[in-house]
A and B are shown apart, each in its own frame.
Chain A
Amino acid sequence: MTDVITMDHIVKVFPPNVVALNNVSVTFREGEIHAVVGENGAGKTTLMKILYGMQEANSGKIFLKGSQVHFNKPGEAISSGIGMVHQEILLIPEYSVWENVILGVEPTGYFGKIDQQKSRQKVKQQIDEFQFHLDPDARVEEISVAARQKVEILKLLYRNVSFLILDEPTSVLTPQEIPQLFDELRRMRDNGRTIVYISHHLEEVLELSDRITVLRKGSKIDTIESSAATKKSLAQMMVGREVIFESIRKTARTGNIVFDMSGLDYSFPQKRPILQNIQIQVREGEIVGIAGVEGNGQLEVVRIIMGLLKPDHGKIEIQGKDFTHASILERREKISFVSQDRANMGSCLNATISENIIMTHHRLNKRFSKWNGIVLNKSQIRIFSEEVRKSFDIQMDSTEAEIKSLSGGNQQKTILGRELSLDTPFLLLDQPTRGLDVGSIEYVHEHILQMRDDAHAILLLSADLEELFRLSDRILVLHRGKIVANLKTEQTSIEEVGYLMLEGGAQ
């Protein structure tokens, strides 16, 4: 096999003193799927951004088929056939799906007029070909994060790149969509394309990739053949210690009903009903998981619970009090919320880490203010930020740096740190471990289970069925806006839930 890309002794330093990459050399071959794994903040994204021309290395060289190249911007990389799908999604929210896909390479007719018919048709064809359940006319701001990820992949497929970089693509896909993506990726590989694949899901990595490069804290540990690796050995290489994958859940001792949603209907104006007669009850000391294929109403359930959408009918009670029409702040006194939309809802990217950490706490916890809540207590904020940083092992330079300078996983840890330390009776966790490395997931899972044992009521949404099974005491299956099953975790299986998610059960 011939080498396509060689990255030679790459060094990248972020001012003032974060060494993101320390002399990393990797070679990518033609026709291989090459996985890059490593802990949060190991430098995976940075390495790929350098290859893609989004960031420049401080030293080191890049060779494309033996000759040295230097991409000054992603556009140059794309015209050399290198494309990247980012961890953070970069689409234009106001544009429709097909408009986003063709942006920059629009088929034009006379006078450079965009041939709308033709381009829409072409995008639609591609969506069907890859079986990406997507509406080409939907506006990007109205679709879920998983759907946006698909749009990003479509964009590159549309541009016909021969070297495809995917940064944690499956973290937002549903289990049903992952095999489709994998099939497509394998087909692309067999056509002689190269795929670089960043992921924290070690099973996926082992299943899909031909070779694996492991990074740890900015240095390359090794590049190995996938056939020679196991999940345990990879985790060991990444983290530098052993990681336990067994379930750690003990049976629950449940108490009173904390969260009670009943008879809830929601329909988008003039469209089909989106949610019908939803009943969800969560007790003290219980974790209830919601399983479902993305787009079956999860987004709306979450938004209704948080008060961002008004239901048509139905009631939400927390600890016996009616919260159906409560303000967001009133809800936040009872609800901790981890959103799946890290960049828009979960954090303020250009505010500092400590400003991100005290959000909501600043209203709920007297500790952070003085003078009757009027003035912020700076020293308490500093102490608290340090606490969160320590207990969640967030890799950062200083709590006064902007949160966007953190790696994706470390941003997620910051958000988790904020929400899990709110100590509210009810927690709503939507994809809480998205983007975390195995070691961190282990820690967060333990933390969530500990909170359950401390009598919190937890509602968990996750596209990762293993995570649902690992944490939940009960699993609800959401299908086309209805809850079609309510199962005890011990009495069901991943296969059964997977079937219910697709077929909706006996109806």
Chain B
Amino acid sequence: MKRNLFVNLAGILIAMLLGAIVMLIQGYNPVETYSALFGYSLANFYSFSTTLRNAVPLILTGLSASVAFASGPVNLGQPGQLLIGAIFCVIGGLYVDLPPYLMIPFLLLLSMIGGAVWSGIAALLKKFFRMDEFITTLMLNMIADYLTYWAITYPLFEPRANHPQTPLITKNGFMPKWGNFNTNVIVMLIVFFVIWFILNRTTAGYEWRISGKNSLFARIGGVKIEKNYLAVMLLTGALAGLAGGLVIMSGPHRFIKGLGANYAWDGIMIAMVANNGIPATLLYGLFFSILQTGSLGMELITAVPSELITVLQAVIVLVVVASRGYFELMIAKIATRRKLKDRDIYPQLINENAIDREDANQ
């Protein structure tokens, strides 16, 4: 755990140094830029609560991808599942009206069902036509894109608006706010704990993790691979759907064209840097939200364009993923040196750079 933390922090630090170099080359002052960035996203309660709110869809789609990848299914359909979750939520919020304590859980459930329906289609295509979810979820993303666009242009169109969007959902379905703190964060935290618990403490989670690593071993051990596949697809779809529902309920309260455009792709990226770890997904989601929220401030205060943040994110992903192996090797070396010192074996000959090339190709 400690080791992981170190590896990740070192990766982020290197990435930020690289970002600073890019800024210098472009003639910006990196210190000023970074302080504007973090100032805008972290400086006070107001900005921090905005950062938290924005982190919610990143973390939820990130969890969706992490759970899927760690368990085997390559669910790349978070963008589509998010949109369908959001549209389910909007439909519920337009046609049903209940008191808030019922309305909010109802809409959350509805958006999870939306996401699960969408990932469920991919699961069924696999079951009946042996189509790989890796392809079908990507295809379904496009379909979801056009389907929701059609829905907000025609049947759910708000007549007075001059661009495609739906009317507002019922006020009873808005996520409550305390000051600027949005309660969608609480929902996200609960979901985070539940997912962590499922994966690390339950029988099903154990089976998913093992199947993700060696499905033949799991199958011969009595694990019901197909059933688990379906469960993981539905669960991860529901997570992405929930992200969509929460975007509606805590943000614009209606479906606007282009909603949540990048959240879900960022979620997949977060799962990748987090190496599908659940706590790491939470932390990286938060960190990416700090960067994204801060990028607005950076643009306002300095002349650096907010696109730089996209670059910075990409660099972080590359550096962390690429250096993970290297840092682990380095830590292993340090441990070996200690052990050798303890034993006093030919200290003058010791080569603590000894490496194991087990994984290298012969």
Contact = CB atoms under 8 A, between A and B. Distances in A.
A306 B358 CA distance: 32
A221 interface: no
B354 A58 contact: yes
Contacts of B213: 348, 350-351
B216 to A, nearest CB: 5
Size category of the A interface is: 35 or more
19 contacts: A13-B343, A15-B339, A17-B339, A49-B358, A55-B354, A56-B351, A57-B351, A58-B340, A58-B345, A327-B224, A328-B219, A344-B214, A344-B216, A345-B217, A359-B218, A360-B221, A374-B204, A376-B203, A378-B201
Contacts of B356: 54-56
A375 B357 contact: no
A338 to B, nearest CB: 11
Interface string B332-346: 110110011001011
Interface in B26-58: none
A144 to B, nearest CB: 16
B262 interface: no
Contact of A58 (B210, B331, B351): B351
B214 A348 contact: yes
A12 B354 contact: yes
Contact of B203 (A78, A328, A355, A374): A374
Interface residues of B, number: 41
Interface string B199-213: 001111011011001
A346 B219 CA distance: 11
Given A13-B340, A328-B220, A376-B206, 15 more contacts: A11-B345, A54-B357, A54-B358, A55-B355, A55-B358, A58-B350, A59-B340, A59-B351, A60-B346, A306-B220, A328-B219, A328-B222, A339-B220, A344-B216, A351-B213
A373 B357 contact: no
Contact of B362 (A9, A74, A329, A337): A74
Given A23-B345, A56-B354, A13 B339 contact: yes
Nearest to B343: A19
A351 B210 contact: yes
A46 to B, nearest CB: 10
A347 interface: yes
Contacts of A49: 358
A59 B210 contact: no
B210 A9 contact: no
A74 B361 CA distance: 8
A345 B216 contact: yes
B362 A73 contact: yes
B183 to A, nearest CB: 28
B210 A346 contact: no
Interface in A133-150: none
A16 B357 contact: no
B352 interface: yes
Interface of A: 9, 11-17, 19, 22-23, 49, 53-60, 73-75, 78, 90, 306, 308, 327-329, 331-332, 337, 339, 344-351, 355, 358-360, 362-364, 369, 373-376, 378
Contacts, number: 136
A350 to B, nearest CB: 6
Q: Indicate the member of A17, A58, A59, A60 with the most B CB atoms within 10 Å.
A: A58
B351 A15 contact: no
B355 A56 contact: yes
A375 B201 contact: yes
B219 A59 contact: no
Contacts of A362: 203, 206-207
Given A13-B336, A344-B217, A345-B217, A59 B346 contact: yes
Interface in B177-209: 201-204, 206-207, 209
A59 B349 contact: yes
A184 B221 CA distance: 40
Nearest to A378: B201
Contacts of B202: 374-376
B335 A332 contact: no
Contacts of B354: 12, 55-58
B158 to A, nearest CB: 45
Nearest to B200: A376
B357 A55 contact: yes
B55 to A, nearest CB: 29
Q: Indicate the member of A15, A17, A90, A327 with the most B CB atoms within 10 Å.
A: A15
Contacts of B210: 348, 351, 355, 359
A176 to B, nearest CB: 29
A108 B346 CA distance: 48
Contacts of B333: 15
A348 B215 CA distance: 9
Given A11-B345, A351-B209, A363 B362 contact: no
Contact of B220 (A16, A56, A337, A355): A337
Contacts of B206: 355, 358, 362, 376
A74 B358 CA distance: 10
Contacts of B1: none
A88 to B, nearest CB: 10
Contacts of B331: 15
B220 A308 contact: yes
B220 A59 contact: no
Contacts of A350: 213-214
B209 to A, nearest CB: 7
Q: Indicate the member of A78, A308, A339, A348 with the most B CB atoms within 10 Å.
A: A348
A75 B362 contact: yes
Contact of A332 (B221, B349, B355): B221
A311 to B, nearest CB: 17
B159 to A, nearest CB: 50
